[in-house]
Amino acid sequence: MHKLLKDNPGEQALLLGNEAIARGAIEAGVAFTSTYPGTPSSEISLNFFQISKESDLYFEYAPNEKVALETATATANCGVRSMCVMKHVGLNVASDVLMTLAYIGVTGGLVILTADDPYMFSSQNEQDNRYYGKLAGIPILEPSSVAEAKEMIPYAFELSEKLGEPVLFRTTTRINHSTAPVTLGEITPRITKGKFIKDPFSFVTVPAVSRKLHVKLLANLKEAEKIACSSPYNYIKGSGSFGIICNGVSYGYVIDAVRELDIEEKVKVLRLGFSHPMPGVLIKDFLKDCSRVLVVEEGEPFMEETVKAFAQEEGLTFPISGKSEKLFSRLYEFDPAMVRQCIATFFSIAYTPSEKTDLSNVPQLPQRPPNLCAGCSHRAAFYAVKKAAEGMDTIFPSDIGCYTLGFLPPLSMGDFVVCMGASTGTSCGFSMVTDSKVISFIGDSTFFHSGISGLMNAVFNNHNFTLMILDNRITAMTGHQPNPGVDMEEMNHGGYNPISIENVVKSLGVKHVSVIQPSKLKKSIKTIKEALAFKGVSVIVAKEKCVLYEKSLKQLKEKSFTITDKCKNHKTCINELACPAFFIKDDKVNIDPAMCTGCAV
């Protein structure tokens, strides 16, 4: 039995934040779950996927977040508790659904988890998705710990059903990827089948209906604010005149800092776990007895702006601050030392930071930037393109995936990356206004996610570029999740219908479509040259399994190569291919047998 299915209330378990969130949903009786995988949220969906294979929980990997939310929107409006999981930038894709879904509402609980990524550990931006909750007019919940994340999920479902609205459950990387003890609760039985009650004047958003629905949404938001004022996740700790308002992981840092600075008698802390709509009555009451207030929140000044507005309404003129040059930045993550220093600065508390350990005598560790794995088929594909396009003036639009790392020297196969699927659309633009040869890269999962529309645009408008679809047979970067092109039988899962990328491309009207196995370098270079010579849109499908995925399926043949006397020690393999299995010893190239996969490139 999956560990998250154990019905042992009161038992403690050591869980990753994402496991705790999944467990909270199981305890809440979630019956339908959907996602497009994205770090730092990926383990939530992985656990749902595993659980669905041994229970009546339904889970699916959707081609993108928009589709994932659309399916959950329908199931929730049949009265079935549903959850849709995505990383923060995924909500951009799903926002078209979200904005109108807020008008329609739900009849069964719907929790939309958005995993924000301060410091951009694995993302192209660090957008603060609390503004989506404000824009849509729906409640936002933010846990401050792993244990609270588990406890808060059932509350989110109850809140959703009470208001008839989806609830945005916002986490950050520190919550998702921390591990902590969690007390298990009772599992609510799942209701897997619902009924859709037709009511077109509530569900069909033509203008006349939407005008009525907007009135309902604002009434729900007003009710949500009342609930927020008495929510168990919004509370005050302490009774001093120095006020601190905080949310999320910042709360733990604040409590530790107040204790370590020995100012517990001087400070009161307002923790907001139900952070939108902001609880006006609670905040105004909190402010009345303060002499100054510091708002501690990672990301944007979301709470700070509202707190200042409430203070103005009450005629309060004492200092309220948060984001400033001398205090907190809008950039990156916070840490305990930073929070301690800013609290001391704002409240004029004597504070001497701990002396840093002297590391002057410690040898510097070599840098280890992210790198394509040894034997990665993407490296061979990039090398083949580089050889085929030698002498050409090129532009390389790329996309989101492992292959994004191809932009690094010596491969240097990436000139422009915006968002998922943008390589096809940006290729259209580059090919129209420059004389450069445009060669773009997109992964198999990303192509299904949002690359098809750009390719369709290219065919319809007769653009001229070459697209290489890097089909490594899995969604690799986020942890080997399936996508519509994956053969699920290889993973011992039946009931799926894989979709051929080549057939999709041909059905769009692309006239020149070819398939290569990147590790077969000579054939690949020849095929790529033919595609580059074609006038119009040409597509190359570079099809070869991710070596890590192949290894997990026990399909990788254990073999490695050694350097023979034929090697002239030109170091071309290192200077142009840069496989991490190569290393220099005694000024000669060697191959690490522990890393080499025997790709033969």
pLDDT band at 405 (very low <50, low <70, confident <90, very high): very high
Residue 245 domain-assigned (yes or no): yes
Assess whether pLDDT exceeds 90 at residue 364.
no
Which of 208, 229, 250 represents a domain boundary (last residue)?
229
Reported as a single tens digit per residue, the pLDDT across 35-44 is: 999 999 999 9
Q: In the structure encoding, which two tokens stand for residue 392, read together? A: 């050409």
The reported pLDDT for the residue numbered 569 is 77
Assess whether pLDDT exceeds 80 at residue 600.
no
Q: Which of 58-62, 404-408, 576-580 has the lowest mean pLDDT?
A: 576-580
Assess whether pLDDT exceeds 70 at residue 560.
no
Assess whether pLDDT exceeds 80 at residue 563.
no
Residue type, 83: M
Task: Say whether 470 sits in a helix, a strand or coil.
Answer: strand
Which of 171, 200, 229 represents a domain boundary (last residue)?
229
- The beta strands (E) that lie in 484-599 are given as 512-516, 537-543, 582-585, 588-591
Q: In the chain, how many domains are there?
A: 3
Distance CA 429, CA 312 (A): 48
Q: Are 51 and 75 in contact (CB under 8 A)?
A: no
Q: In the structure encoding, which two tokens stand for residue 406, read together? A: 């191809």
Residue 601 domain-assigned (yes or no): no
Q: Are 35 and 85 in contact (CB under 8 A)?
A: yes
Percent of all residues in the chain with a pLDDT value above 90, rounded to a whole number: 79
Residue with tokens 């990436």: 414
Distance CA 513, CA 318 (A): 67
Reported as a single tens digit per residue, the pLDDT across 437-468 is: 999 999 999 999 999 999 999 999 999 999 99
- The beta strands (E) that lie in 416-456 are given as 437-443
Distance CA 557, CA 547 (A): 10
CA distances from 573 to 158, 429, 547, 564 (A): 59, 34, 19, 14
Reported as a single tens digit per residue, the pLDDT across 105-144 is: 999 999 999 999 999 888 999 999 999 999 999 999 999 9
Assess whether pLDDT exceeds 70 at residue 150.
yes
Residue 561 domain-assigned (yes or no): no
Assess whether pLDDT exceeds 80 at residue 145.
yes
Assign residue 282 the CATH number of its domain: 3.40.50.920
Q: Are 228 and 202 in contact (CB under 8 A)?
A: no
Q: Which of 464-468, 546-550, 591-595 has the lowest mean pLDDT?
A: 591-595
Report the predicted TM-score, pTM, of the whole model to 2 decimal places.
0.90
Reported as a single tens digit per residue, the pLDDT across 267-285 is: 999 999 999 999 999 999 9
The reported pLDDT for the residue numbered 515 is 97
Q: Are residues 152 and 240 in the same domain?
A: no
Assess whether pLDDT exceeds 70 at residue 564.
no
Q: In the structure encoding, which two tokens stand for residue 469, read together? A: 């679809």
Residue 302 burial (CB count, 10 A): 23
Q: In the structure encoding, which two tokens stand for residue 248, read together? A: 């999320």
Residue 556 domain-assigned (yes or no): no
Reported as a single tens digit per residue, the pLDDT across 323-361 is: 998 899 999 999 999 999 999 999 999 888 877 888 888
The reported pLDDT for the residue numbered 580 is 85
**Residue 309 CA from chain centroid, whole number:** 32
Q: Are residues 213 and 269 in the same domain?
A: no
The reported pLDDT for the residue numbered 584 is 85
Assess whether pLDDT exceeds 90 at residue 551.
no
Provide the b/e sequence for 461-471 (b: ≥16 CB within 10 Å). Answer: eebbbbbbbbb
Residue with tokens 């409590």: 255
**Residue 330 CA from chain centroid, whole number:** 19
Q: Are residues 387 and 519 in the same domain?
A: yes
Phi and psi at residue 446, to the nearest 5°: -70, -35
Q: Are residues 52 and 201 in the same domain?
A: yes
The reported pLDDT for the residue numbered 598 is 80
Q: Are residues 220 and 258 in the same domain?
A: no
pLDDT band at 594 (very low <50, low <70, confident <90, very high): confident
The reported pLDDT for the residue numbered 50 is 94
Average pLDDT for residues 188-214, to the nearest whole number?
95
Distance CA 410, CA 419 (A): 23
Assess whether pLDDT exceeds 70 at residue 77.
yes
Residue 421 domain-assigned (yes or no): yes
410 prior amide bond cis, ω within 30: yes
The reported pLDDT for the residue numbered 47 is 96
Output 565 or 219, whichever has higher pLDDT: 219
Q: Are residues 153 and 279 in the same domain?
A: no
9 prior amide bond cis, ω within 30: no
Q: Which of 50-54, 513-517, 528-532, 573-577 has the lowest mean pLDDT?
A: 573-577
Which of 503, 534, 549 represents a domain boundary (last residue)?
549
Q: In the structure encoding, which two tokens stand for residue 120, read together? A: 């951009």
Q: Are residues 193 and 284 in the same domain?
A: no
Average pLDDT for residues 4-19, to the nearest whole number?
95
Q: Are residues 82 and 203 in the same domain?
A: yes
Q: Are 421 and 36 in contact (CB under 8 A)?
A: no
Q: Are residues 285 and 422 in the same domain?
A: no
Nearest in space to 442 (alpha carbons), one of 424, 419, 462: 424
Where would I find the H helices in 164-206? Answer: 173-176, 200-203
Q: Are 247 and 170 in contact (CB under 8 A)?
A: no
Angle ∠(243,133,89) on CA atoms, nearest 5: 110
Mean pLDDT of the chain: 93
Percent of all residues in the chain with a pLDDT value above 70, rounded to a whole number: 99
Output 354 or 484, whichever has higher pLDDT: 484
Q: Could you tell me the sign of the dihedral formed by the alpha carbons of 248, 249, 254, 259, in that order?
A: positive
The conformational region for residue 520 under phi > 0 = left, psi -120 to 50 = alpha, else beta, is beta
Output 155 or 375, whichever has higher pLDDT: 155
Residue type, 449: H
Q: Are 124 and 419 in contact (CB under 8 A)?
A: yes
CA distances from 233 to 74, 104, 128, 387 (A): 29, 27, 20, 59
Q: Are residues 15 and 84 in the same domain?
A: yes
Nearest in space to 484 (alpha carbons), one of 522, 450, 523: 450
Phi and psi at residue 207, to the nearest 5°: -50, -45
Average pLDDT for residues 538-562, to the nearest whole number?
84
Average pLDDT for residues 400-416, to the nearest whole number?
92
Instruction: Please name the helix (run of DSSP H) or strand (run of DSSP E) that holds residue 122, with its range, or none.
Output: none
pLDDT band at 176 (very low <50, low <70, confident <90, very high): very high
Average pLDDT for residues 412-433, to the nearest whole number?
95
Provide the b/e sequence for 138-164 (b: ≥16 CB within 10 Å). Answer: bbbbbbbbbbbbbbbbbbbbebbbebb
DSSP string covering 388-411, please? Answer: HTTTS-EE-B--SSGGGGGGSTTT
Assign residue 392 the CATH number of its domain: 3.40.50.970
Q: Are residues 168 and 85 in the same domain?
A: yes
Distance CA 119, CA 249 (A): 14
Distance CA 188, CA 80 (A): 13
Residue 550 burial (CB count, 10 A): 20
The reported pLDDT for the residue numbered 494 is 83
Q: Which of 144-158, 191-205, 263-277, 361-375 has the lowest mean pLDDT?
A: 361-375
The reported pLDDT for the residue numbered 241 is 93
Distance CA 189, CA 56 (A): 10
Domain that holds residue 306: 234-346
Q: Which of 368-372, 488-492, 559-563, 585-589 has the lowest mean pLDDT?
A: 559-563
Assess whether pLDDT exceeds 80 at residue 566.
no
Assess whether pLDDT exceeds 90 at residue 202.
yes
Residue 300 domain-assigned (yes or no): yes
Q: Are residues 386 and 488 in the same domain?
A: yes
